[in-house]
Structure 1
Amino acid sequence: MNILIVEDEALIAMLLEEMLDTRGYNVAAHASTLAEGETMASSLDVDVAILDVSLGGDSVFPVAERLSDRGIPFMFTTGFGAAGMPEVWADRPVFSKPYEIDSLIATIQQLVPSAPVAAAG
């Protein structure tokens, strides 16, 4: 199970990667800018992605479009909640920060039914 994290806050990305790693998931890559995210979303072989809605003032939605075009499931994280999400992404899971890792893992398992059941951290 390969996961792409697109998150501009280094500490949050490192904590998320560590939490996923301790539960047996592999973070294939971490993008911290929109440009990095778009490149990785277009080319990496990942099973699912976790996308921070705001990347240093840029919207992550172009990354979401690339993932969607490739059929790769993803979820959003945000410090602002689901209220400000565009209608086109209303069907995607949204987690408000700080999020609970077990809920995030459960969503990964829903988005990718073949995902291994993660060990409790």
Structure 2
Amino acid sequence: MSAISDVKPDKPDLTGSRVLLVEDEYYIADDLCRALEGCGAEVVGPVPSLAEALPLAESESLTCAVLDINLRGESGLRVAETLQRRNVPFVYSTGYSSASVPEALKGAAHLEKPFRIEELLHAVSQVSR
């Protein structure tokens, strides 16, 4: 069973958005990438590891990011810290509850897997404005 469902016709327009996608589950990353690109976003990544995500979070010109919290046993919260420092908004896409996020990193949209792809696309469109 997939952690997300298919895109519906009422998808948001994300044209011009550059979205960093940090997700270590291949099929989820592929589904999210296709959905974001299908809405017009340019996806940076997807990247499955902290080692690959941090340099992109530090240097890329980004509209926003979609972050998994657990990246093969490493904390994706370091990516969130980097993005927060750069004032790049992000959305958590994770199997962890919002209680696992330190107070300093709360405030971002938090989607717990499994979620509907429409929820993620809506959250990205909200933070990309």
TM-score normalised by length of structure 2: 0.81
1:84 pairs with 100, 103, 106, which one?
Answer: 100
CA contact (8 A) 1:49 1:74 kept: yes
1:66 alignment partner in structure 2: 82
Alpha-carbon separation, structure 2, partners of 1:21 and 1:31: 15
Alpha-carbon separation, structure 1, partners of 2:39 and 2:116: 14
1:57 pairs with 70, 73, 81, which one?
Answer: 73
Establish whether residue 43 from structure 1 lines up as the match of residue 25 from structure 2: no
Give ranges in structure 2 of 5+ residues lacking alignment.
1-16
Q: 1:112, CA displacement in angstroms?
A: 1.9
- Runs of 4+ aligned structure 1 residues displaced above 6 Å come to none
Alpha-carbon separation, structure 2, partners of 1:69 and 1:80: 23
Question: Which SS does the other structure have where 1:83 is aligned?
Answer: helix
1:109 alignment partner in structure 2: 125
Q: Over aligned residue pairs, what C-alpha RMSD do you find?
A: 1.2
Range with bigger deviation, 45-54 or 25-34: 25-34
2:111 alignment partner in structure 1: 95
Question: Which SS does the other structure have where 1:30 is aligned?
Answer: strand
Q: 1:25, CA displacement in angstroms?
A: 1.7
Q: How many residues align?
A: 113
Q: Which has the higher contact order (CA 8 A, sep 6+)?
A: 2
Alpha-carbon separation, structure 2, partners of 1:46 and 1:83: 27
Q: 1:71, CA displacement in angstroms?
A: 1.1
Alpha-carbon separation, structure 1, partners of 2:126 and 2:58: 23
Identity of aligned residues (%): 35
Q: 1:28, CA displacement in angstroms?
A: 2.2
TM-score normalised by length of structure 1: 0.86
2:7 alignment partner in structure 1: none
Alpha-carbon separation, structure 2, partners of 1:33 and 1:80: 17
Alpha-carbon separation, structure 2, partners of 1:6 and 1:89: 16
1:12 alignment partner in structure 2: 28
Alpha-carbon separation, structure 2, partners of 1:25 and 1:4: 10
Q: 1:90, CA displacement in angstroms?
A: 2.1
